[in-house]
């Protein structure tokens, strides 16, 4: 097992990464000195796989454990699911000392984290991510949220977990589609911050697609290390943290237009990265060879980079203008400066930028 | 005009108190360097009185102003109202730089503050409280929340405003019932922390009930000063801030059992203080003369101290056990140590404490 630290003063915490470490959950929670009442929040896909194991371990230790099982999917990352967590907790006399344990993917982690941020104005929570996307990205850094019909992750809080426990073995039960979607976020870290890691990803396609445990552990650790470093510098996204949104501005627009859950978050980010790299090339920030290299790795990892049909550039831009990265009508977009470096650019006239780009674009060709 | 400071590092802010200072709203906001998009959140009682004045002043300055007008009353401090704020803001392209201005009483301030805490993970907000209760208590200190059907203020966040603007003249349009309810919180400050202020309140009943501007200003400033001092010591209620909940544990139970909005918050706190003082006397922490003195001042200020009929002690205790002050089954209750001092006490068996107390109790007799 390896342990990384997210360095945030009195909100600092550990990320534990290992194979089979779910069985050590009691020992890993021990240093946190949590009170005995835990609420495990999970979904109906993860529950049959891991809930009994986790609850039994906790229960056989000193904990009282309640469970909330939500329906699976991004379309349920909403106000109704959030309220069902609150109602369950109030009915079961959860108080300010109760800890929420998020057991699942990014949707569960974001929603359970936001419940923890706002239940009685804030209670402790722990992340046990079981999807690749959650393990490399959403479980680390304290971004919590639910979706609003008019925009993704619009309602939320910055609220750090007390610990993140990443059991790489849980990826063995993750379906191919979700696994590949998670790889989009893995590739993102290479593009924005680490050219060497990007090359390693190019050289280890089959090991990762075969879920080789040591390759997975290396990739996850590298992503978490990059993210922990960025979050420690800029917890609430006033500067460098925005780079983590590479591919996300267009990606969120896809998710919202297609309907939450239709295109997976990672799938949308893959397309968003292909779009962002083309805009980067158009502005002379990266070469067409870099664009081709990013396209190629996305395709090698089984990610589609075609823009969903049936939407006009105006619809995409309108959706993007509701993004959290918009300020006073100016869209901020992360662009690639070659492979391994990136920066936030201001687009004062995004309609102009995107209309031409999307018209010219025959992605994946 | 007088200005107090709430000292919270990079979250510090000013409380401005004066008569007629609503007309200086533009000048008072100026030092905050807000971006130009403001959303004023108010209700259908306050809107006809002050909204046009405030919007015109802001609009004639450099601001773009949107308005959200919610239905009045504690029964609307809920998820549905909160979501209507979010929907309005998304439809009007509010971004992370938009500022929410809460114009109204405690319900508006708590709800608009919670919207600010969670819209896009946090945007600036300003409090312009127009009720006595909001001016002396809820607008200061950063407690924001909505109610859940199973408990008051159960969902919320600690989130500080950027400024509080208290125009004492707005109390001239406040109805008698709400004005008296606010006086319950004023009296609370005397009981928990300031014997001299309590005596002043005993000596100035008619001036305050007549809304004498200088008496009102003195009372509001004293309350805000006490609260600012406590909040600066303990922003997130791990210690001394809990004293501000004197009368609130039983008070919240009354509000929840009677149905939000039936008994006003301040009215419920008045009854809760009468109950808490009796428990204090029962435990030898204050004298029966102190209990009588508190009863007398509450009655002089027109506050009823009868416990609402039709509920059993078990119902009250069950409601209190859902309070945020419960931890691991132990109820924490603020008790008076005479007039002008108070402390948090643990009640490991609240059913025992309350059953006898409520049975013996013929309040107001």
B6 touches B228 (CB < 8 A)? yes
Facing residue for B324 by CB, picked from A36, A120, A328: A120
3-state secondary structure of A67: strand
- Give the CA-trace dihedral at B111, B113, B115, B117, to 10 degrees: -140
Facing residue for A95 by CB, picked from B79, B121, B328: B328
A36 CB neighbours in chain B (<8 A) are 328
Mean pLDDT of chain B: 95
The residue out of B122, B147, B173 marking a domain boundary is: B173
- Give the CA-trace dihedral at A84, A156, B89, A185, to 10 degrees: -110
pLDDT at residue B266 is higher than 60:
yes
pLDDT at residue B363 is higher than 50:
no
B151 CB neighbours in chain A (<8 A) are 90
> Can you tell me the distance from the alpha carbon of B344 to that of A303, in angstroms, rounded to the nearest whole number?
58
Nearest CA in chain A to B151: A90
Residue that the structure tokens 């945030």 belong to:
A8
The pLDDT score that the predictor gives to residue A325 is: 78
CB contact under 8 A, A156 and B96: no
Q: What's the distance, CA A293 to chain centroid?
A: 23
Containing domain of residue A150, as a range? 2-172
Tens digit of each residue's pLDDT (9 = 90 or more) over A296-350: 999 999 999 999 999 999 999 999 988 887 887 789 999 999 999 999 999 989 9
A93 lies within 8 A of chain B by CB: yes
Task: Choose among A228, A231, A207: nearest CA to A219.
Answer: A207
3-state secondary structure of A291: helix
| CATH code of the domain covering residue B212 | 1.20.1090.10
B10 lies within 8 A of chain A by CB: no
Nearest CA in chain A to B95: A327
The single-letter DSSP state of residue B102 is E
* DSSP β-ladder status, A326-327 and B163-167: unpaired
Q: Do residue B131 and residue B230 come from a single domain?
A: no
CB contact under 8 A, A90 and B154: yes
How far A150 CA sits from the closest chain B CA (Å)? 7
**Residue A281: count of CB within 10 angstroms of its CB:** 18
Confidence of residue B90 (pLDDT cuts 50, 70, 90): very high
Taking the alpha carbons of B43, A327, B11, A229 in that order, is the dihedral positive or negative?
positive
**Residue B10: count of CB within 10 angstroms of its CB:** 5
B143 CB neighbours in chain A (<8 A) are 121
Residue A8 in any domain: the answer is yes
How far B204 CA sits from the closest chain A CA (Å)? 37
CB contact under 8 A, B121 and A86: no
Q: Do residue B132 and residue B280 come from a single domain?
A: no
B328 CB neighbours in chain A (<8 A) are 35-37, 95, 97
How far A335 CA sits from the closest chain B CA (Å)? 21
| CATH code of the domain covering residue B29 | 3.40.50.1970
Tens digit of each residue's pLDDT (9 = 90 or more) over A154-188: 999 999 999 999 999 999 999 999 999 999 999 99
Please give the tally of structural domains in chain A: 2
Least confident of B5-9, B95-99, B350-354: B350-354
Q: Do residue A200 and residue A294 come from a single domain?
A: yes
The pLDDT score that the predictor gives to residue B331 is: 92
Q: Do residue B221 and residue B320 come from a single domain?
A: yes
Q: Do residue B198 and residue B277 come from a single domain?
A: yes
Is position A152 annotated as part of the catalytic site? no
The residue out of B148, B173, B198 marking a domain boundary is: B173
A321 lies within 8 A of chain B by CB: yes
- A 219-258: CB under 8 A from B: 236
* DSSP β-ladder status, B342-347 and B330-336: antiparallel
> Can you tell me the distance from the alpha carbon of B126 to that of A340, in angstroms, rounded to the nearest whole number?
42
Residue A61 in any domain: the answer is yes
Confidence of residue A362 (pLDDT cuts 50, 70, 90): low
Q: Do residue B135 and residue B190 come from a single domain?
A: no
3-state secondary structure of B228: helix
The pLDDT score that the predictor gives to residue B254 is: 95
The pLDDT score that the predictor gives to residue B324 is: 81
A318 lies within 8 A of chain B by CB: no
How far A79 CA sits from the closest chain B CA (Å)? 9
CB contact under 8 A, A120 and B90: no
Residue that the structure tokens 């132990």 belong to:
B330
Helices B176-193 and B195-203: crossing angle in degrees, nearest 10, is: 140
**What is the count of residue pairs from A and B with beta carbons less than 8 Å apart?**
99
B64-89 burial code (b ≥16 CB/10 A, e <16): ebbbbbbebbbebbbbebbbbbbebb
3-state secondary structure of B155: strand
CB contact under 8 A, A148 and B36: no
For testing contact with chain B, the best of A10, A118, A144, A145 (most B CBs within 10 A): A118
How far A357 CA sits from the closest chain B CA (Å)? 24
Confidence of residue B260 (pLDDT cuts 50, 70, 90): confident
Task: Choose among B356, B355, B340: nearest CA to B286.
Answer: B340
Residue A365 in any domain: the answer is no
Q: Do residue B223 and residue B241 come from a single domain?
A: yes
Least confident of A20-34, A73-87, A351-365, B343-357: A351-365
- B 272-311: CB under 8 A from A: none
The residue out of B140, B173, B206 marking a domain boundary is: B173
pLDDT at residue A287 is higher than 60:
yes
Q: Do residue A48 and residue A166 come from a single domain?
A: yes
Q: Do residue B90 and residue B205 come from a single domain?
A: no
A255 touches A270 (CB < 8 A)? no
The pLDDT score that the predictor gives to residue A122 is: 97
> Token pair for residue A257?
């237009």
B25-28 contacts: CB < 8 A, separation 24 or more?
Answer: B25/B54, B25/B57, B25/B58, B25/B128, B25/B165, B26/B57, B26/B58, B26/B61, B28/B163, B28/B165
Tens digit of each residue's pLDDT (9 = 90 or more) over A214-249: 999 999 999 999 999 999 999 999 999 999 999 999
Active-site position among A76, A248, A293, A324: A248
The pLDDT score that the predictor gives to residue B355 is: 87
CB contact under 8 A, A324 and B83: no
> Can you tell me the distance from the alpha carbon of B108 to that of A80, in angstroms, rounded to the nearest whole number?
23
Tens digit of each residue's pLDDT (9 = 90 or more) over B7-17: 999 999 999 99
Least confident of A196-210, B320-334, B335-349: B320-334
CB contact under 8 A, A148 and B35: no
Tens digit of each residue's pLDDT (9 = 90 or more) over A9-48: 999 999 999 999 999 999 999 999 999 999 999 999 999 9
Q: Do residue A57 and residue A147 come from a single domain?
A: yes
A156 lies within 8 A of chain B by CB: yes
Is position A59 annotated as part of the catalytic site? no
The pLDDT score that the predictor gives to residue A358 is: 86
The H or E element spanning position A84 is helix A79-91
CB contact under 8 A, A86 and B148: yes
A357 lies within 8 A of chain B by CB: no
CB contact under 8 A, B122 and A321: no
**Residue B352: count of CB within 10 angstroms of its CB:** 11
**What is the set of active-site residues of B?**
121, 143, 185, 227, 237, 241, 245, 248, 252, 265
3-state secondary structure of B149: coil
First to last CA, chain B: 42
Contacts of A48 (CB under 8 A, 6+ apart): none
> Can you tell me the distance from the alpha carbon of A328 to that of B93, in angstroms, rounded to the nearest whole number?
9
A150 lies within 8 A of chain B by CB: yes
Residue B365 in any domain: the answer is no
pLDDT at residue A364 is higher than 60:
no
Is position A185 annotated as part of the catalytic site? yes
The pLDDT score that the predictor gives to residue B117 is: 98
Helices B106-118 and B79-91: crossing angle in degrees, nearest 10, is: 60
For testing contact with chain B, the best of A84, A85, A95 (most B CBs within 10 A): A95
Nearest CA in chain A to B154: A120
The pLDDT score that the predictor gives to residue A365 is: 40
Q: Do residue B323 and residue B203 come from a single domain?
A: yes
B240 CB-contact burial (10 Å; exposed 0-12 / middle 13-18 / buried 19+): middle
Is position A245 annotated as part of the catalytic site? yes
Tens digit of each residue's pLDDT (9 = 90 or more) over A103-161: 999 999 999 999 999 999 999 999 999 999 999 999 999 999 999 988 889 999 999 99
B157 lies within 8 A of chain A by CB: yes
Nearest CA in chain A to B330: A95
Is position A74 annotated as part of the catalytic site? no
Residue B241 in any domain: the answer is yes
Is position A37 annotated as part of the catalytic site? no
> Can you tell me the distance from the alpha carbon of A111 to that of B220, in angstroms, rounded to the nearest whole number?
40
Task: Choose among B341, B339, B343: nearest CA to B199.
Answer: B339
Q: Do residue A262 and residue A145 come from a single domain?
A: no
């Amino acid at each position: 097992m390896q342990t990384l630290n997210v360095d945030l003063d009195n909100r600092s915490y550990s990320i534990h990464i290992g194979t089979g470490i779910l069985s050590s959950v009691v020992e890993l929670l021990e240093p946190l000195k949590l009170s005995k009442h835990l609420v495990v929040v999970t979904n109906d896909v993860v529950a049959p796989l891991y809930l009994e194991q986790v609850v039994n371990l906790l229960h056989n230790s000193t904990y009282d454990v309640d469970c909330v099982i939500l329906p699976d999917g991004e379309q349920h990352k909403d106000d109704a699911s959030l309220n069902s967590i609150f109602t369950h907790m109030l009915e079961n006399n959860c108080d300010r000392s109760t800890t929420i344990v998020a057991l699942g993917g990014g949707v569960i982690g974001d929603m359970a984290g936001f419940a923890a941020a706002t239940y009685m104005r804030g209670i402790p929570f722990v992340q046990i991510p079981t999807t690749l996307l959650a393990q490399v990205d959403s479980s680390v850094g304290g971004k919590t949220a639910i979706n609003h019909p008019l925009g993704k992750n619009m309602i939320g809080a910055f609220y750090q977990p007390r610990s993140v426990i990443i059991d790489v073995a849980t990826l063995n039960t993750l379906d191919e589609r979700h696994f590949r979607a998670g790889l989009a976020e893995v590739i993102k870290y290479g593009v924005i911050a680490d050219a060497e890691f990007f090359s390693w990803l190019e050289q280890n396609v089959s090991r990762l697609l075969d879920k080789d445990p040591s390759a997975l552990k290396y990739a996850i650790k590298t992503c978490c290390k990059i993210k922990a470093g960025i979050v420690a510098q800029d917890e609430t996204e006033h500067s460098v943290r925005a780079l983590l949104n590479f591919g996300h501005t267009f990606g969120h627009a896809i998710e919202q237009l297609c309907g939450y859950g239709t295109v997976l978050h990672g799938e949308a980010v893959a397309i968003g990265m292909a779009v962002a790299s083309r805009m980067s090339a158009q502005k002379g920030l990266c070469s067409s060879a870099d664009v081709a290299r990013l396209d190629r790795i996305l395709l090698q990892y089984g990610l589609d980079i075609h823009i969903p049909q049936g939407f006009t550039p105006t619809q995409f831009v309108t959706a993007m203008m509701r993004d959290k990265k918009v300020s006073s009508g100016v869209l901020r977009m992360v662009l690639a400066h070659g492979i391994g470096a990136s920066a936030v650019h201001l687009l004062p006239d995004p309609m102009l930028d995107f209309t031409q780009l999307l018209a010219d674009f025959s992605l994946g060709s």
